[in-house]
């Protein structure tokens, strides 16, 4: 399955395509779509829409994965602008007939590292490890987009929070010393 | 000039087209675009985009007027969802090569009633009066969209807050008993 992860932003939207052929997951392409901060909002949105349509057309994914709608922003204005970008991205998916999946940030962290409060760095390490990369792609928006792909690919996501980790993920977690927390009773 | 006002919302987006041939302003069409609350977000955005493109195509405006980006929402989630809708609407304008104008709510109120803290009802009365309507269009989203058109049409907007009101607007204000507030010095 070809999974397209998108990390929406008006200035910079990260994307990444992962080809998932269980148990392997391979990075096909990652990148960003930038818009000109001096242009009008509507022109920036048109640039973003054009970029996303190009990515979808070139990479031919079966699903688009985005972070769930989130509301915890320090600046409400930034959150609303992100909403503009996310709206245009989801529209591009719908008009292409693409399935959309959305996961909360905590689930992405848990699917990759075993716990929902992992740091950005721990998540990035797991992206690098699971995709067999030399280092985390820059800018960070690309790595965040790839984390969404891997969350979608993780069987753990489907099996619930106490489900078994896939072998490779479990090995990687052991390597990282990132052992899933468990509550004793 | 044909002015299209839009009051963006995910559930219900109001629109109105005003033909402005100074000093007259005439309502050409007003209405709403609704989306199915049980559909997925991306499908709702596609419905909205299709609706707006249809309105723009049928009514052939020269400018689209929206409320300025606003951040005062009781529920951040609602604000972000409104951002999704507004993004898709602005994209439709950009892709049609349509000029976009955005005014803060307080300016719309001031342009129509003479003061920036007018109530919704006072603004609606002025919309009815200036367009020579029998009553305020329902739902309120349509009236709000028409208020944006009239703000764009008002010379007062261009001349600054102390500028002269056009004669018809001044007469209407006198009828309403809504006299612009002035600060004495």
Q: Indicate if the pLDDT at residue B164 is higher than 50.
A: no
- Mean pLDDT within A148-161: 71
**Most confidently modeled of B11-15, B77-81, B110-114?**
B11-15
Nearest to A83 among B43, B49, B81 (CB): B81
Three-state DSSP at A95 gives helix
Q: Indicate if the pLDDT at residue A185 is higher than 70.
A: no
- In sign, the C-alpha dihedral spanning B177, B128, B50, A41 is negative
In this complex, is the C-beta atom of B52 within 8 Å of any C-beta atom belonging to chain A? no
Supply the pLDDT for residue B10. 95
Looking at CA atoms only, how far is residue B166 from chain A in angstroms?
30
Supply the pLDDT for residue B24. 87
Supply the pLDDT for residue B181. 32
- Mean pLDDT within B74-102: 94
The answer to whether the CB of A69 falls within 8 A of the CB of B77 is yes
Chain mean position to CA A120: 12
Annotated active-site residue B141? The verdict is: yes
User: For residue A77, what pLDDT band results from cuts at 50, 70 and 90?
Assistant: confident
- Mean pLDDT within B84-110: 96
Q: How many CB atoms lie within 10 A of CB B50?
A: 15
In this complex, is the C-beta atom of B27 within 8 Å of any C-beta atom belonging to chain A? no
Please, what is the end-to-end C-alpha distance for chain A in angstroms?
A: 39
User: Which of B5-9, B131-135, B180-184 shows the lowest mean pLDDT across its residues?
Assistant: B180-184
Interatomic CA distance for residues A134 and A143, integer angstroms: 13
Which residues in chain B have their CB less than 8 angstroms from residue A88's CB? 87-88, 91
In this complex, is the C-beta atom of A39 within 8 Å of any C-beta atom belonging to chain B? no
User: For residue B169, what pLDDT band results from cuts at 50, 70 and 90?
Assistant: low
Residues B107-128 pLDDT 10s = 999 999 988 899 999 999 999 9
- Mean pLDDT within A134-145: 96
Neighbouring residues of A166: CB distance < 8 A, sequence distance ≥ 6: A23, A154, A155, A156
Interatomic CA distance for residues A5 and A120, integer angstroms: 16
User: Which of A85-94, B81-90, B145-154, B176-185 shows the lowest mean pLDDT across its residues?
Assistant: B176-185
Interatomic CA distance for residues A60 and A47, integer angstroms: 20
Q: Indicate if the pLDDT at residue B84 is higher than 70.
A: yes
- Mean pLDDT within B150-154: 93
Interatomic CA distance for residues A26 and A20, integer angstroms: 6
Q: Indicate if the pLDDT at residue B175 is higher than 70.
A: no
Q: Mean pLDDT score of chain B, rounded to an integer? A: 86
CB contact burial B106-124 (16+ within 10 A = b; e otherwise): ebbbbbbbbbeebeeebbb
Q: Are strands A99-103 and B24-34 parallel, antiparallel or unpaired?
A: unpaired
The residue written with tokens 């367009």 in the block is B131
User: For residue B172, what pLDDT band results from cuts at 50, 70 and 90?
Assistant: low
Interatomic CA distance for residues B6 and B67, integer angstroms: 8
Which residues in chain A have their CB less than 8 angstroms from residue B42's CB? 90-91, 93-94, 100
Supply the pLDDT for residue B179. 36
Is the backbone peptide bond immediately before A159 cis, with ω within 30 degrees of 0?
A: no
Chain mean position to CA B158: 17
Q: Which helix (H) or strand (E) holds A74?
A: none
* E strand spans, chain B: 2-7, 12-21, 24-34, 63-67, 99-103
User: For residue B185, what pLDDT band results from cuts at 50, 70 and 90?
Assistant: very low
In this complex, is the C-beta atom of B40 within 8 Å of any C-beta atom belonging to chain A? yes
- Mean pLDDT within B65-90: 88
Q: Are strands A12-21 and A24-34 parallel, antiparallel or unpaired?
A: antiparallel
Q: Indicate if the pLDDT at residue B92 is higher than 70.
A: yes
B48 vs A173, residue with greater confidence:
B48
Q: Do B46 and A76 touch (CB under 8 A)?
A: no
Which residues in chain A have their CB less than 8 angstroms from residue B41's CB? 69, 90, 100
Q: Do B80 and A93 touch (CB under 8 A)?
A: no
Q: Do A94 and B45 touch (CB under 8 A)?
A: yes
Catalytically annotated residue among B68, B95, B121, B141: B141
Supply the pLDDT for residue A181. 31
Q: Indicate if the pLDDT at residue B177 is higher than 90.
A: no
In Å, how far are A42, A44, A45, B10 from A38, measured between CA atoms? 12, 9, 13, 28
Which residues in chain B have their CB less than 8 angstroms from residue A72's CB? 76
Tokens (6 digits) for A27? 């990075």
User: Which of B46-50, B102-106, B107-111, B161-165 shows the lowest mean pLDDT across its residues?
Assistant: B161-165
Residues A43-63 pLDDT 10s = 999 999 999 999 999 999 999
Supply the pLDDT for residue B62. 97
In this complex, is the C-beta atom of B90 within 8 Å of any C-beta atom belonging to chain A? yes
Annotated active-site residue A7? The verdict is: yes
In this complex, is the C-beta atom of A88 within 8 Å of any C-beta atom belonging to chain B? yes
């Amino acid at each position: 399955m070809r999974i397209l992860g998108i990390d929406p932003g008006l200035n910079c939207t990260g994307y990444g395509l992962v080809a998932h052929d269980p148990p392997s997951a391979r990075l096909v392409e990652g990148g960003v779509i930038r818009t000109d901060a001096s242009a009008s909002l509507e022109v920036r949105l048109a640039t973003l829409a054009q970029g996303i349509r190009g990515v979808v057309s070139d990479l031919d994914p079966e699903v688009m994965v985005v972070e769930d709608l989130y509301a915890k922003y320090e600046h409400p204005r930034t959150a609303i602008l992100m909403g503009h970008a996310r709206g245009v991205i989801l529209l591009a998916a719908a008009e292409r007939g693409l399935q959309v999946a959305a996961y909360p940030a905590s689930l992405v962290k848990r699917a990759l590292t075993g716990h929902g409060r992992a740091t950005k760095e721990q998540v990035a390490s797991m992206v690098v490890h699971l995709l067999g990369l030399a280092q985390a792609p820059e800018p960070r928006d690309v790595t965040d987009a790839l984390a969404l792909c891997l969350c979608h690919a993780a069987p753990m996501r489907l099996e619930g929070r106490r489900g078994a980790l896939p072998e490779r993920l479990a090995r990687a977690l052991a390597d990282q010393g990132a052992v899933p927390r468990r509550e004793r009773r």
